[in-house]
């Protein structure tokens, strides 16, 4: 997803994290992949890759499903200026039906006024 510098504020990035978490919790993998892509899809269909990663993450922590997204906003942190193009990280811990959480991470890359937001990873967070 392409955004501008004006859309790279903590609040707006957190809003994107909320949106991504809502789509993941709703099981709308196609919309999630369409809006954000998936950095770890490799040669797989992005929606299928997200579904597989979520399934693996849930199994790793002994959960069977995600609970509704938390009311707390995602954390947004910014990288120090660098040559790699990494700009910001958005992290949202989503509760499951056990004691663990699933971590949804969005990464923001770019240099100059244009930035890109991509779903970086869905993983188990114990």
* pLDDT for the residue numbered 125: 92
> What's residue 104's pLDDT?
98
pLDDT for residue 1: 94
pLDDT of residue 113: 81
pLDDT tens readout for residues 6-17: 899 999 999 999
Is the four-CA dihedral 16, 107, 123, 50 of positive or negative sign? positive
Q: Name 115's bridge partners.
A: 3
- Per-residue pLDDT, 6: 86
Residue 28: what pLDDT? 98
Question: Which among 89, 33, 97, 24 has a CA at the least distance from the CA of 54?
Answer: 24
Q: How far apart are CA 27 and CA 23, in angstroms?
A: 6
Counting as low any pLDDT under 50, the low residues of the chain are: none
Q: In sequence order, what E strands does 1-126 have?
A: 2-4, 75-78, 86-95, 101-109, 114-125
The count of other CB atoms within 10 Å of the CB of residue 36 is 24
pLDDT of residue 62: 95
């Amino acid at each position: 997803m392409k955004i501008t510098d004006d859309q790279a504020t903590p609040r707006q990035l957190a809003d994107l994290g909320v949106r991504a978490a809502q789509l993941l919790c709703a099981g709308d993998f196609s919309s999630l992949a369409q809006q954000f892509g998936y950095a770890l899809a490799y040669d797989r269909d992005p929606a299928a890759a997200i579904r597989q990663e979520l399934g693996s993450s849930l199994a790793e922590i002994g959960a069977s499903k995600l609970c509704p997204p938390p009311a707390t906003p995602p954390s947004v942190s910014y990288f120090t200026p660098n040559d790699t193009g990494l700009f910001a990280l958005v992290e949202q811990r989503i509760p499951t039906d056990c004691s663990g959480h699933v971590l949804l991470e969005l990464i923001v890359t770019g240099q100059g006024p244009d930035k890109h937001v991509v779903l970086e990873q869905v993983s188990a967070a114990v």
